[in-house]
Every structure is written in C-alpha cells, then in structure tokens.
Structure 1
Amino acid sequence: MIQRISESIVNWQIKKNILTGDQRALYLYSYEVLLNQTINVFIAGLIAIVLNAPMPVFVFLVSYIPLRSYCGGYHARTNGGCTIVSAFLIVLVCLVERVLTGELTVILPPLCLAISGALIFLYAPAPDKNKPLDEVETIHYRKRSRIVWGIEAAIGVVFWCFGIRAGIVIAISHAILSLMLVYGVFKNKKVCD
C-alpha cells in the first residue's frame, strides 16, 4: 500500500514536471520512508494514548530513532513488518517502564547503559543487505553512533541520578537497540556465510 501511494505521488510529480524520470527511484524510496515513518509516529501516538504513557513513548522515540539511524541492526523485510516491530518495541518499553520499581530502578539503568554502550562500540554500525555500507560510511556511522550513544547515555545518567523516570526509558531503549544491533550483526553473518 505504501509503495502504491508513493508511486502515485511520484507519477503525479513527474506528470506535473516537478520531478524528472531519472529521479524516480530516489523519490519512490524517499516517499516510502516518509510514509512509513509517519505511520509509525501515528501508531506511537495511539499507543501513548491507549497506555496513558506519553513520556515513555516520547523519550523512547527521541532516544531510539537517532541512535538507530547510525547503529543499524535488524531490518524487517517489509514496511508492515517494520511497523509491527516498532509498535511492539514501544509497547514493551512502556510496560517495562511501568513495572520497574524498587531496587531494579537503581541497578538496571546503569547496567543497561553500560552493556548497550559496549555492544554499540563493538558492533555498530551493522549493515544490512538492504542497506549496505562502504568503508567510508562505516567509519562515519561508527563515529556518529558512539557520539549519539555518549550524549544520550549522559542524559540518561543525569535523569537517573535525579530520579527522573525518563532515565529508565533511555536505558531500556538503549538495551533494546543494542539487542536489535547484535541480532542484525549475527543475522548478516549467517547470510554472508
């Protein structure tokens, strides 16, 4: 469905001489990504409303998306699969944040941040067969992923120190992201072998 909508938009823009035919593939891909992201954000908003969890959803999106952009990892085969996985991860973060209490709120966030940092430093970025990286891109994305992780981890630690639950959400988000990264790395190794 997203592909058909993207094709309709691009065809209309070519017909109106807004785009040229040689730009077709680039803009098809761009519109598919834009529409998919829009649907995912809309679903995230619905989840925030249904679960009465605007802070966890917002913090998850703000911490997960930038870091995921540079780390790579698991990629669903279809836009629908991506939407389902994204929705599942958002619900998971909301539920974990809600049930995490007591001593676990003291121990788990720094542990998650430390482990995710180690995994990101070891494995990021993880290319995918749908998104291969050359050597220059790999170096660039590795550096960016480490910088983004460092900034977000520092913010998470500050929140955690002051007892702000957003620190827990950042830690959970990083833990999930690092697991997706490791899964993507090992999935790619199996495909290449």
Structure 2
Amino acid sequence: MKKFVDSYCNYLKKKGIIVSDEQLEICAYGLELIVSAILNIVILVMCSFVLHEERYILFYFLGFIPLRLFAGGYHADNHLNCCIIFAGIYVVSVFLRCIAEPPLVLCFIVVETLLILLLSPVESVNKQITSKRRRISRNRSIWILLANVVVCIVFLWVQPNNSYIEYYLISGFLASSTMIAGKIKLHFASRKKEGASL
C-alpha cells in the first residue's frame, strides 16, 4: 500500500500539483490513512457478510470508531497488522454478542467507564499530542462514554436483548479495551527509549 501511495504522490509532484517535499510527505501520510481506513472498513463489511451479521455492522462502527478516535488505544506497527487486529476485534464482538445477556453488557459498560476515566486518551508511540489536544480528546471521549451509559440504561430498562444495541455497546467496550494494549505498548516504547539514551 505504501508503494502505491508513494508512486501516486510522486506522480502528483511531477504534474506540479504537489510542489514541495513537505507537501509530498503530508499528502502521502494522509492518503495512507485514508486507504488504510477504507481497507479496514471493506474487510469488516466482508467479514460481517461471511458471518451473516451484516445488518449489525453499522452499529458496530457507531460504537467503535468515535470512541477509538478520541480515547486512543493500540496502534499496530503496519497496515497489515492493523487490518488483522481490527478484523480480530470485530470477530470477538460477534462472539460476545452471542453470549451477551443484560448483566454482562452492564459489566462491559462499567469496565469501559473505568478505562476511559483512568486512561483516556492513549497516545500513539509515534505521534505525541499537545496538552490542549489531549484535553479535547479526553473531554470528547467522556461525552461519548456518557452517551454509551445512557444507551445502556435505556437498553437494560426498555429493550434488553436488542442485538443492534448490544453490538453498539460491545464495540464501545472493545474500543476502550484497546487502550490497555496501547498503554502497555507506550510504556515499553518509553522504557526502550530511556535504555537507548543511557
């Protein structure tokens, strides 16, 4: 994928659309993210059809993506690993929905609440964020959490065992769970950096 993006950006530079190396780098990075996101979504949609869960996929995305975007979490080292992990998390959500009963869903929302309040936002090893951006991301992840808590209360009170809502809540729980792996990776990366500087 990187070769494709780089060759396309070099083509744009030859045509004069991109004029500097800095613009080339920014364009290549942005295109890589877009292509990776589209690829991940296509793979998950295909998985949902294979598993006969396609009617729920939108609710999975609604629960997972906003929280993952602002709370942060684990970042794979390359796009292939990212696709594999993203698909793996989706398969876990399918399994959890099959066994989800209201008490288990309530446990998920409690764990999600604790993780977001304790860890959010989790930065990427390669992309540090400013304190202002950290504060904004934390506030947004807490607002998303509050929405999830409201949805959970309505779910438990009004319509338990609604598969659409279960997917939404389970995917939010899984998105918040990736923060643990992200925090561990960040910890080991900082220790490795400290060791290298000695």
| TM-score, length of structure 2 as denominator length | 0.88
**What residue is the counterpart of 1:165 in the other structure?**
163
Tell me if the contact between 1:57 and 1:90 (Cα under 8 Å) persists in the aligned partners.
no
Deviation of 1:140 (Å): 1.2
Deviation of 1:73 (Å): 1.4
**What residue is the counterpart of 1:111 in the other structure?**
107
Deviates more, 1:158-167 or 1:19-28: 158-167
Tell me if the contact between 1:67 and 1:145 (Cα under 8 Å) persists in the aligned partners.
yes
1:29 correspondence with 2:29 = yes
**What residue is the counterpart of 1:59 in the other structure?**
59
Letter in 2 for 1:180: T
Tell me if the contact between 1:109 and 1:167 (Cα under 8 Å) persists in the aligned partners.
no
SS in 2 for 1:65: helix
| TM-score, length of structure 1 as denominator length | 0.90
Q: Following the alignment from structure 1 to structure 2, what is the Cα–Cα distance between the partners of residues 78 and 26?
A: 18
SS in 1 for 2:101: helix
Q: Following the alignment from structure 1 to structure 2, what is the Cα–Cα distance between the partners of residues 7 and 174?
A: 34
Q: Following the alignment from structure 2 to structure 1, what is the Cα–Cα distance between the partners of residues 32 and 156?
A: 37
RMSD, matched Cα: 1.6
**What residue is the counterpart of 1:74 in the other structure?**
74
**What residue is the counterpart of 2:176 in the other structure?**
178
Q: Following the alignment from structure 1 to structure 2, what is the Cα–Cα distance between the partners of residues 58 and 93?
A: 13
Deviation of 1:191 (Å): 2.4
**What residue is the counterpart of 1:16 in the other structure?**
15
Tell me if the contact between 2:67 and 2:176 (Cα under 8 Å) persists in the aligned partners.
no
1:122 correspondence with 2:121 = no
Q: Following the alignment from structure 1 to structure 2, what is the Cα–Cα distance between the partners of residues 190 and 9?
A: 35
Task: Deviation per CA, 1:106-160: give whole Å up to 9, x if none.
Answer: 2011221122012101100011212211211111111111112222332343244
Tell me if the contact between 1:56 and 1:93 (Cα under 8 Å) persists in the aligned partners.
no
In structure 2, the CA distance between the partners of 1:152 and 1:106, relative to structure 1 (3 Å rule), is closer
Runs of 4+ more than 6 Å apart: none
Tell me if the contact between 1:159 and 1:166 (Cα under 8 Å) persists in the aligned partners.
no
Letter in 2 for 1:126: V
Unpaired segments ≥5 residues, structure 2: 192-198
Q: Following the alignment from structure 2 to structure 1, what is the Cα–Cα distance between the partners of residues 41 and 60?
A: 11
- Structure with the larger RCO, 1 or 2 (CA within 8 Å, 6+ apart): 2
Tell me if the contact between 2:63 and 2:169 (Cα under 8 Å) persists in the aligned partners.
no
